[in-house]
Chain A
């Protein structure tokens, strides 16, 4: 591809504080649905706007503004959001109301806020940003799809600063349904034991992570995003070949570490096993879903983690999946899939070069 795209600002909200990166003890949960940690939303969002906002919108605006602030960008040239399940809370509110009143008199606010592009639209409204505005909603490949759009934008040389983020929220009934079809584990467990659980399903959460990307490198840049790919279906046996092709295409002979979307689901973790025991057996391997849970756009958290690692040149032990470490992390591959579908590859490198 050859285009240069830098990560200049990052922000995330998850069930963990950012201090897990500083080797502080992580928060532990005994439930399988993990809410995000509450933030001081009032400091970033006007109360009259805040009053209607669901978690996804609040988290989205909050992270968006923080990422832009760090990158010192006041007005991005594009806003791209990936959200697999969109505004679940308002969708649930409107749907339940409609069903319970048998299509009676319904209040419109939750319908208005139920569309998947509410987060991107509200960010635009808040920033008064009339630029390109896009929302991707492809289950676990939503955030990666948004990143591909960002790469295209920079290649097209039409924009300089892009705001891109992934966000997904939980809601009582819709998220609860995921227990009924084995997406969420039957048994409650401590999140730190996720990888040893050896049962179907995972733990789910709400998270957001936003990034201010730019064609211009700054002294404070975190990393350079090289390339992103999504593949809808593939067999575990085919994964190695696809990863090799992806790296080859980008002329990357080797990566230094991999961040894997392992989620403790014994039906699908074999995708990760395949490369952990194969192509990346001699590499440092990291996981994160035991800390922040799983959801359709949680790979944005992985990008946050990779950005931190590349900038601060350290790898917090809590994320390590194997005994191998890496003294000089320069090239990182992020791989994620959910239920064997929506495979996403994100490749980035240090911008020290």
Chain B
């Protein structure tokens, strides 16, 4: 199966302001995790993957007028898509370009900042609708003059992976010729306090799949890819193709993953079937690997169930960017595409000891390997599990 063509990508995260910087960061194994400087939280001791640009600086990069009401997630999203646009050769997106964005908390950064101002300060009331995920998506759409199909998926940490899958299905069905898919989420007090209350934040840099892992680091990012129908590609380079996607629900617990990794197992199995390949054809897995006790255990079990003794090279890149929640699936889609294009596997930073239960060992240093097929996993609260398969063009 040929799959849906990816003709552009753009990203901003703690390891780079665009695709080029990001690729350099990945290759040099430079982590973006550090203490918060921009997020106005009291939890100054909790490491995060923060983009070291204030909202004012981001607004300037985007040439936005003063007094705008873009959420931070919208600012990041517009930066990532500007990067994408530059790399596609389009001056602006053609009419009828669709936009499907994933986000978990959308614009809650503005709600938490202005919650007590709304009553007395009418000047802040323009931020009231910003709370809802669709607002962030609409702001980005507005920035790029996209007026047709615009929608938002909010399935916690698998949001943007689901946005990518839906986009691919829209192209396949002929409903759309061209669609920007991905996601954005920024650091907020809401999420850092929320994850802290769940006691799953690590006090140090996260160590996915390590036996002594202590939790995750939150991060912020936006990443998008452009999907186009065959008759729109012309002579544009195809960065890769989405050939498989699978979505399943763990149906086990509102936040925790099952010990058997059932949801993950089902999602990956569906994605492999959709791609029409065998599991042995997968050359690399970009794992969800958040660094929490629960996720990494559950995901490892799922991987072992599917791949048995023939587990391909895998790594979690969360120690680079932090867990960027709704954006994570798209961030890792971009990483997967970079891996495919450059025949590189980016390492799982901070790994030392294999997990007692499964004994899996991720890739620890940058590895060169001819890659044709990459699997990327994203799992979220609410039992939402999604797996995507990207393949090299022309297979």
Q: State which residues 53-68 of A face B: CB under 8 Å.
A: none
Q: Would you call B151 and A136 a contact (CB within 8 A)?
A: yes
A197 interface residue per 8 A CB criterion: no
Alpha-carbon distance A103/B115, docked complex (angstroms): 14
One digit per residue, 1 when the CB lies within 8 angstroms of any chain B CB and 0 when it does not, for chain A 97-141 equals 011001100111001111111101110110111111111111101
Query: What is the CB-to-nearest-CB distance from A287 to chain B, in angstroms, rounded to a whole number?
Result: 24
Given A99-B116, A118-B254, A231-B147, are A133 and B382 neighbors across the interface (CB < 8 Å)? yes
Which secondary structure dominates chain A's binding surface? Answer: mixed
Cβ-defined partner of A98 (8 Å) among B112, B118, B175 = B112
A79 interface residue per 8 A CB criterion: yes
Which residues from chain A contact B43 at a C-beta distance below 8 Å? 103
Which of B14-22, B58-66, B135-143, B342-350 is found at the contact surface with chain A?
B135-143
B370 interface residue per 8 A CB criterion: no
Alpha-carbon distance A131/B147, docked complex (angstroms): 32
Cβ-defined partner of A181 (8 Å) among B125, B153, B194, B381 = B125
Which residues from chain B contact A127 at a C-beta distance below 8 Å? 251
Cβ-defined partner of A95 (8 Å) among B115, B126, B169, B250 = B115
A342 interface residue per 8 A CB criterion: yes
Given A85-B132, A180-B125, are A124 and B251 neighbors across the interface (CB < 8 Å)? yes
Q: Would you call A86 and B132 a contact (CB within 8 A)?
A: yes
Q: Would you call A138 and B152 a contact (CB within 8 A)?
A: yes
Cβ-defined partner of B128 (8 Å) among A106, A117, A180, A342 = A180
Given A130-B262, A152-B170, are A115 and B42 neighbors across the interface (CB < 8 Å)? no
One digit per residue, 1 when the CB lies within 8 angstroms of any chain A CB and 0 when it does not, for chain B 152-178 equals 111110000010001001100101000
One digit per residue, 1 when the CB lies within 8 angstroms of any chain B CB and 0 when it does not, for chain A 66-105 equals 0000000000000100001110000100111011001100
Q: Would you call A181 and B155 a contact (CB within 8 A)?
A: no
Cβ-defined partner of B156 (8 Å) among A85, A117, A132, A136 = A117
Which residues from chain B contact A230 at a C-beta distance below 8 Å? 149-151
Which residues from chain B contact A137 at a C-beta distance below 8 Å? 106, 132-134, 152-154
Which residues from chain A contact B248 at a C-beta distance below 8 Å? 130-133
Q: Which residue of B lies closest to A98 (CB)?
A: B193
Alpha-carbon distance A277/B15, docked complex (angstroms): 56
Q: Would you call B380 and A128 a contact (CB within 8 A)?
A: no
One digit per residue, 1 when the CB lies within 8 angstroms of any chain A CB and 0 when it does not, for chain B 364-385 equals 0000000000000000111110
B131 interface residue per 8 A CB criterion: yes
Alpha-carbon distance A86/B152, docked complex (angstroms): 12
Which residues from chain A contact B382 at a C-beta distance below 8 Å? 115, 117-118, 120-122, 124, 133, 135
Query: What is the CB-to-nearest-CB distance from A29 to chain B, in angstroms, rounded to a whole number?
Result: 23
One digit per residue, 1 when the CB lies within 8 angstroms of any chain A CB and 0 when it does not, for chain B 69-95 equals 000000000000000000000000000
B336 interface residue per 8 A CB criterion: no
Query: What is the CB-to-nearest-CB distance from A153 to chain B, in angstroms, rounded to a whole number?
Result: 9
Q: Would you call B134 and A133 a contact (CB within 8 A)?
A: no
B255 interface residue per 8 A CB criterion: yes
A174 interface residue per 8 A CB criterion: yes
B34 interface residue per 8 A CB criterion: no
26 residue pairs of the A-B complex, CB under 8 angstroms, read: A84-B134, A95-B190, A98-B193, A108-B198, A112-B255, A115-B380, A115-B382, A121-B381, A122-B382, A125-B252, A127-B251, A129-B249, A130-B249, A131-B249, A132-B249, A135-B382, A136-B152, A136-B153, A141-B151, A145-B151, A148-B175, A152-B166, A155-B173, A173-B115, A230-B149, A232-B149
Question: Which positions in A face B, CB cutoff 8 Å?
Answer: 79, 84-86, 91, 94-96, 98-99, 102-103, 106-108, 111-118, 120-122, 124-125, 127-139, 141-142, 145, 148-149, 152, 155-156, 173-174, 177-178, 180-181, 183, 229-234, 296, 341-342
Question: Which positions in B face A, CB cutoff 8 Å?
Answer: 41-43, 104, 106, 108, 111-112, 115-116, 118-119, 122, 125-126, 128-129, 131-135, 137-138, 141-142, 146-156, 162, 166, 169-170, 173, 175, 189-190, 193-198, 247-255, 262-263, 266, 380-384
**Apart from the given pairs A121-B249, A139-B134, 8 other A-B contacts in the complex at a CB distance below 8 Å:** A95-B190, A116-B104, A116-B156, A133-B155, A137-B153, A180-B125, A181-B128, A232-B148
